[in-house]
Structure 1
């Protein structure tokens, strides 16, 4: 006797369809909490070797996945696109109950294998990698906001240091949101503020030069706001927030490195010129345990760089990547290959050579014989 549980996962609840030898015997709606999972566990315990099929629905299916792994049940997690292509028919009638039953009934025909369960370290790396990327996005947005308000308050301060970024720059912006704060202080007070703006050692000569330059920029500036404007608080807030975000991102990076260091693929990635700790940990975090892929083509499909081929009669369409896979992994690898190509000028490697070879081949127009 073969029993399949088809589960259609939604935000707050899930539809469960239980089929035995291809026939539906029971179905119900369960909440996605301890009560619902306890009921599902009772049903699973009544069956020997149950097959469980559900569609990956982002964050909503993670709790179901964690529950099944905790109780050592094998499951088949379907990619949403894969599920759509397998279950769509000519007659479109869609409900959660029908979807759950279709997931279960199709298992009797397709005989899908259980999903490869990765070690916990890969899931932790994935979550931390996404956290790192979210922090990076927050930093970019906050930088843009700070730049916008500084164009009104004190745009000249962006020319004080070689680049308008970093802990010292943001500290100075927080101390001197407009020119008024600069011109009201004495030279000694300005020098003390500049010394305290960085945790690194700074020479007296450097302090004197920055003080002189800051005063000159303040005298040159025409502020669009007064000293009591609410925008002053926004400038200070954005500058302080950037310091917090960059420090938190650095902490997350150190956590990523600590998790990735014991893995054999980490050292392999670091041995490639152009790949450092941030890129190496991000690649592992997004690709996970690559041993679950049976071929390079499966990895390409997972990332979304597999080619889409279209041919009809005498027409041969130009090939493009499908972009149906993991967009984060695709973005990381895109930047990674550029880093490898740039580093090849001083540190040649076979990956860069292969990239240049394929790049030349892609420039040759292909025609159908």
Structure 2
């Protein structure tokens, strides 16, 4: 006889339903308990007592992947020494799969019913075996996921900064592009000029030589052509609309606040990058991935943290599906659609790090550069976006091989001979 424990997890509750594969016995135990150590211990107690009565051949404790809320219960049952002696398996399933299973029965929805159908879903044993990540991967994941959240926040803040720069000096971006200057509107020097105690009229009236010297000072001598940058900024100021005094004050305040936020976020990202590098060096897998030209420690850490033990996955298509780098098949009769969309239903963190790593690898690796170029030239629209996602899917195969075989990257012989 087998035992299946279904847990519906929320921030405060653990709704539990325990059943066996013998449908005549019905539900063996059902309750609503607190999502705390006492509630989890009570569930463990019930499982052990039922096992004394029925001597289960297999015990499966299943729950939906609710990230933060399911973390502690999953680790509690997975690490418990008494449950380990009974070969207890802790399974985490995608909520969408269990939702579709429950909807097939057209039942009302509440936590008690949800726990029942979670247990029943695992009872039919159509789920894919899952392995909980080891603690070292989870610790790294806290850092890499926080880094992505900071990066997304930085991108949003920079977009807001550009919007307000447009209010203040609407031709600045155009002038910088016209002069072919490798300087963006959120460079430290531009941000200082636009947010410190400099009015646009003062900057426009400053002699070009003095303005170039100011830029050279603010940029600490890093600009190759400070006079050219000074000329572009003054041209932008002269060609831009002027705001009223009241609007100038509001825009200046917003720009100053956003500039401080950008500097703060960039500093935090540097600090978390250092923490990631220090931690990932303790993992043997990072050497495998960083052996690929273009994959640094941060990208390697993001990929490793989300994949965890590569043995969790059967093969590279499963890894790709987990990342959401797979395409939906649309087929009816003898007709198959050529227009298929990216699933994007997997782990968005893993997808982000794989895509970013692929974008870096194709700049350093001849094989991936040729593949990217080929895919980019196949379509008239969304060239880069499509090509880089396909390149990321190709990278998944390499990542899977390196991690599964614990080996370093070696370029294909044909590319080595070309060089």
TM-score range, shorter chain: 0.7 to 0.9
- 1:153 and 1:178 in contact (8 A); partners too: no
**Shift of the alpha carbon at 1:248?**
0.8
Residue 39 of structure 1, CA deviation: 3.5
Q: 1:169 to 1:93 in 2, by over 3 A?
A: same
Cα contact 1:309–1:319 (8 A) shared by 2? no
Q: Which moved more, 1:141-150 or 1:302-311?
A: 302-311
Cα RMSD (Å): 4.1
| Contact map agreement 1:170 1:243 (CA 8 A) in 2 | no
Question: Aligned partners of 1:14 and 1:111: how far apart in 2?
Answer: 24
What TM-score, normalized by structure 2, do the two folds share?
Answer: 0.69
Number of the residue aligned with 2:6: 6
Which of residues 45, 57, 60 is equivalent to 1:51? Answer: 60
Match of residue 37 from structure 1: 40
Q: Secondary structure at the match of 1:275?
A: coil
The answer for unaligned runs of 5 or more in structure 2 is 84-88, 380-419
Runs of 5+ unmatched residues, structure 1: 363-369
**Separation of aligned partners in 2, 1:92 and 1:184:** 74
State the 1:226 CA deviation.
2.1
Show the counterpart of 1:121.
136
1:203 to 1:125, Cα distance in 2 relative to 1, 3 A:
closer
1:120-179 Cα offsets, whole Å, 9 max, x none, are: 222233232221221121112111211122222244665577222333333333314642
Moved more, 264-273 or 203-212: 203-212
Identify which of 66, 84, 94 aligns with 1:79.
Answer: 94
Q: 1:148 maps to which residue? A: 163
| Counterpart in the other structure of 2:290 | 270
Structure of higher RCO (CA pairs closer than 8 Å, 6+ residues apart): 1
Q: CA deviation at 1:193?
A: 7.0
* Distance in 2 between residues matched to 1:215 and 1:192, nearest whole Å: 14
Change (3 A) 1:241 1:186: farther
> Is the Cα–Cα contact under 8 Å of residues 5 and 51 in structure 1 kept in the other structure?
yes
Q: Name the counterpart of 1:255.
A: 275
Q: CA deviation at 1:181?
A: 6.5
Q: Distance in 2 between matches of 1:357 and 1:291?
A: 33
> Is the 8 Å Cα contact of residues 92 and 130 (structure 2) preserved in structure 1?
yes
Structure 1 position 290, deviation (Å): 2.0
The equivalences for 1:222-261 within 5 A come to 222-226=241-245, 229-261=249-281
Larger mean CA deviation between 217-226 and 265-274 belongs to: 217-226
Partner residue of 2:307 out of 254, 275, 287 = 287
Structure-2 change in CA distance of 1:183 and 1:115 (3 Å): same
Following TM superposition, by how much is the alpha carbon of 1:57 offset from its aligned partner in structure 2, in angstroms?
A: 2.1
Q: TM-score under structure 1 normalisation? A: 0.77
Q: Which residue of 2 aligns with 1:366?
A: none
Q: Secondary structure at the match of 2:306?
A: helix
Is the 1:146–1:239 Cα contact (8 Å) retained in structure 2? yes
